[in-house]
Amino acid sequence: MDAISPRRWRALIVLAAAQFMVIMDTSIIGVALPDIQRDLGFTQSGLQWVFNAYVIAFGGLLLLGGRLSDLLGARKVFTAGWIILIAGSAIAAAAGDAWVEIAGRGVQGIGGALIAPASMTLLMMLFGHDRRELGKAMALYGAAAPAGGTAGVFLGGVIAEYLSWPWVFIVYIPIGVATLLAVPALLPAVGGRRGTVDVLGAVAVTAGIALAVFAIVRAPEQGWTSAATSLELAGAVALLVLFLLVQRAVRAPLMPLGIWRTPGLATANLAMALLGAAWIPMWYFLNLYLQQVLGYGAFAGGAALLPMTVTIMIFMIGVTARLLGRFGAKPLIVIGLLVLAAGVAGLSLVRAEGVFAVDVLPASLVAAAGMSLAYIPAMMSAMSGVRPEESGLASGIVNTTYQVGSALGLAVMTAIATSRGAAELGDAARLTGGFQAAFAGAGIIAAGGAVLSLLLMRAPKAATTEGAEPAGDISRNR
């Protein structure tokens, strides 16, 4: 798109709202799970798939979503994604048994996997003409993701407290319709390009990711060294290796391996994966600690996370973008992960007889600040060096690494927490011991991410003359 759109800031509201809703879909169901379990007959072990069905479909198909965005045009894919998300929401809301609910969540994940990379492509098209505007737009867009994850807990608490669990899905229908009505007037009609879709690659990578998460989730029950776990993990590795072989062999691969030669792409994606692996388990177990140990209800538990949301918004909109322009991405990623590690380490000291203002609030605010410092720089580093025609692919890759890191991190921390007593409902001391172990593990992941980013990321380069730098290189000095 050559012309600068006069409606680009209103368009950004639509894109940021879409990102907010897509990420919120992973968290809004958290406090409603007990009601869903009771009404639909989920077993205790099967209940987790209400969450995992969305995350696996979303994370596993993001690469395909990015490829389709490049081939078909971002606006078309964005629109199709919302139609699918609305359909999945209707299925999940109307579900009368467990399998229909899981299917609805999977359809929602497919819609999200189309929306997220298409949104990023549209954002780059709208604001790529000016590095300062792009930085501000990325700050607002970036703030929508973690804020959506945290706000989902609060909104889910309100709905669970005052309505009923189907409304956590029904809420997406009117919002989706309103978004679709705004698309023609606000979003640019980005042309696609000729090419084919790598179906075998899409199936292999999605199945590989799903099987890996499935194996880790089931490992505490089956045993980490059991034959079943070993076979499942081996199958996941085989599928992912098949995916790489297919990418080398086909003419139009889903993920051209040459993209990994882009400077900084691999290290930025590693940082994003470890950020998700630390942040999501922290959020998950903090919610459980508030409700199962401190005795908060659904509404109070969600409200207790609002200070984190406010901190994220303040830092991402008012602080991180300015620091990024001054210091570059690498220092913020390293410092952000270290601050996140410190905050999560503080949460590992929570007590069975704890008090929110002492045990939770200070450490959670530190963790939120750290996440806010690292998220946007890592996202921009992963996107900045690629060619404009590969922006959808790069967006799919970085969102995939964050989601897969989140799913794997949560699965591993759940296994650790369970082994330390987190399954002992009603025993506050045992529950707290399990949650402490999960927080400690998440802190170690964040600290490890900081060390790896410090060692592996490219040293900053001198910035070019302001305004002369290409839009695709806004965070090149990572």
Write down the pLDDT at residue 472: 38
Write down the pLDDT at residue 45: 56
Tell me if 280 sits within 8 A of 128, measured CB to CB: no
Write down the pLDDT at residue 73: 84
Q: Which of 312, 287, 336, 359 is nearest to 447 (CA)?
A: 336
> Whole-angstrom Cα distance, residue 328 to residue 321?
10
371: helix, strand or coil:
helix
Write down the pLDDT at residue 150: 66
Residues 6+ apart with CB under 8 A from 256: 247, 393
**SS3 track for 216-237:** HHHHHHHCCCCHHHHHHHHHHH
Write down the pLDDT at residue 1: 44
Q: Which amino acid is at 311?
A: T
Write down the pLDDT at residue 358: 92
Within 10 angstroms of residue 396's Cβ, the number of other Cβ atoms is 29
Write down the pLDDT at residue 474: 34
Within 10 angstroms of residue 252's Cβ, the number of other Cβ atoms is 13
Write down the pLDDT at residue 470: 36
Tell me if 461 sits within 8 A of 384, measured CB to CB: no
Q: What is the CA radius of gyration of the chain?
A: 21
Write down the pLDDT at residue 210: 78
Write down the pLDDT at residue 471: 36
Write down the pLDDT at residue 438: 92
> Whole-angstrom Cα distance, residue 22 to residue 171?
12
Report DSSP state, residue 459: P
Write down the pLDDT at residue 20: 80
> Whole-angstrom Cα distance, residue 138 to residue 27?
22
Write down the pLDDT at residue 130: 66
Write down the pLDDT at residue 24: 77
- Ranges of residues in the chain with a pLDDT under 70 are 1-6, 26, 30, 43-46, 48, 128-131, 142-143, 145-147, 149-150, 191-193, 195, 298, 388-392, 459-478
